[in-house]
Structure 1
Amino acid sequence: MQQSTYFDYVYKIIGENLQKNPDKLFESKNVYLFVDKSLHLIWIWAGLQSRLFHRYIAANWAGKLKNNKEFYGFKYEVVKEGREPIEFQYISSEIKRGPEKYSFPGESRKKKRKVNKFQTTISGDLSSKTIQNKFPKSLNISNIHGNNNINIKINAILQEIKEIHSHVKYSMQHIDKRINQIEQLLRNHK
């Protein structure tokens, strides 16, 4: 039986298909899947310029992968470029440093935790009462930032709507293309 390599757990969405072991990673216009065996998680990394349609396809593929015997019971999580959680950042660091050292994405996190387990020291009083006293009971952020906070929220919502509009437009073009293919097949079949 052949030994699995790091990139056997990395996939790229191309149209409606899944490409194992892609040539390039973390391209802004693409969507990738990383199987993180240590967390029992399939990460769906979506570039800032990726299409909603491709993210949807990636979620479908993640669902299919997690039904495979090897990944049965894995969860999946979508992460957007530039907003990757710390747990995912281990994977991008592995790729920058050289993934040949690891068997699967996220493996360095497991090794790092073993080291940290012996280096951790706790100092000071960490009782829940001490921690609660460090923060005010309520903090009204809108009073601090005034209307600027509202503008930020409005701009965020507007950007989201624009992105959805762009994806709907792309999806409609994709649907038209598929309808034309079906009609062509029907004409040729007569």
Structure 2
Amino acid sequence: FWESVVEDTVTVHAFKTGHKVSNYRLLALSAIQMHLHQHCTAASHSGPVEQDHCQSKAQPGKEASNISPVQDELVTDPLMQSGRMQSGRKLASREAEKLRKAAEKAEKARAMIEKRKKEWAELYASKPSEDYEDPKDVEAIRLAKERMGDFKLKSAKDFTVPEHLRMNVEKKRVQLVNLEKK
């Protein structure tokens, strides 16, 4: 790689310390770069459309599918051209595969959403109205009211402890006697 680049290296050394700084400058551009530069400068005089095209070529990190026709003209080796075509086909097939997978994934998501919508529609259709009363629940409530009896809450103001639950002196004596026997 470095043999094809014509460059001039400049190194600056410090007097009293071992520090040094190196820099380089390119003395000449490659043939492809020169041709592109000439093409873009000519295009800048011709119109803004061509100028935008040249600026997009100058940006690094572009895909291989953005190879300009100028660069294609510079490549004269048929092996390199066939290699580019094959790599282009590989890239195209990979891109097509990615697009196909993305489309399948989107279709699955769409189908899942439709399935969920149908399930919710069925659920809402089977939902009873607000005033609906289940006959089993109505019967259970009626039976509970009949058999509940008269239960008083301890927190009620009129609550009195029933006789069998009241504690008196005689009941405590009986408990003490039973404890002493054990």
* Fold shared by both chains (TM-score > 0.5): no
Q: Looking at secondary structure, tell me which structure has more strand per residue.
A: 1
TM-score (norm 1): 0.28
* Higher CA-based Rg: 2
| Higher share of residues assigned helix | 2
